[in-house]
A and B are shown apart, each in its own frame.
Chain A
């Protein structure tokens, strides 16, 4: 965000800890919990959004296990739920709103896989892959995929 912001900081305690200590604490949290911390203060937000932190977190979170459930009613009401073993709880993962601009009316989406900040969906009717980057709040179509109609190709997660 704006780099010229240099407000006097009234932060005490937590925000004054050296960033490597803070990182060590945040590595113990699940991604939704970390994203939530971005809203606490500007200093935490810039630490968490920084390249260093994101790179290291991505490395560490490899050992993290998620179980995802994608509930489809209409595209507008679809819900992605994730269970995280590190936190031991379910999270509601708000992809529906991000997906909406990329989804044509009546399109049928399948949830394929997730890695890091990315959630990958397949559009059955249009043979497209749709990638949602949750941290960046962005959606991207990956066109001309080799995906055939349902039943003609199988998908497997690697790793």
Chain B
């Protein structure tokens, strides 16, 4: 409450990913994460905050998304840009996208949890099971009999 916010000169928080890489992140960005916020409120504000569940490449992605999310608040163009980047990642590398979602969930970043879940939901809408498997590289592990039964049960035609 005491400090007036000035994002350009905000405090730097030091974080360490599970694979040992150290990140220096502006406090305003780091505090998007409720997990980091709670850790700082406890006692490790002056120490390096460890993130045992997040690898460096994924944490880098999370920070990028956090920064863009902060920028996009009143900017429709940025919003579109972030969304299309998210969709691109989802299509080109669904595995990394899942890691991103997990990391965002672990770090408890509400805004990004909502965005990444909504992008994925929108992506799934109106697509056939076959196409979803293909795009998200999910293996069809039904036996042919099970699949025939399910297809018979699921004759949802999308008008």
Contact = CB atoms under 8 A, between A and B. Distances in A.
A13 B159 contact: no
Contacts of A17: 98, 101-102
B119 to A, nearest CB: 9
Interface in B88-134: 94-95, 97-98, 101-102, 105, 113, 117-118, 120-121, 124-126, 128-129, 132-133
Interface string A73-101: 00000000100000101111110010000
Majority DSSP secondary structure for residues of A touching B: mixed
B155 interface: yes
Majority DSSP secondary structure for residues of B touching A: helix
B121 A12 contact: no
Interface residues of B, number: 37
B141 to A, nearest CB: 5
Interface stretch (A21-29, A56-64, A113-121, A124-132): A21-29
B73 interface: no
B137 interface: yes
Given A21-B105, A29-B125, A40 B156 contact: no
Nearest to A2: B146
30 contacts: A9-B139, A12-B94, A13-B136, A14-B136, A15-B138, A17-B102, A18-B105, A21-B105, A25-B120, A28-B118, A29-B125, A35-B154, A35-B156, A36-B128, A36-B129, A36-B156, A38-B154, A39-B147, A39-B151, A40-B129, A40-B132, A40-B140, A41-B141, A41-B142, A42-B142, A42-B146, A81-B159, A89-B158, A91-B156, A91-B158
Interface of A: 1, 7, 9-18, 21, 24-26, 28-29, 32-33, 35-45, 81, 87, 89-94, 97, 137
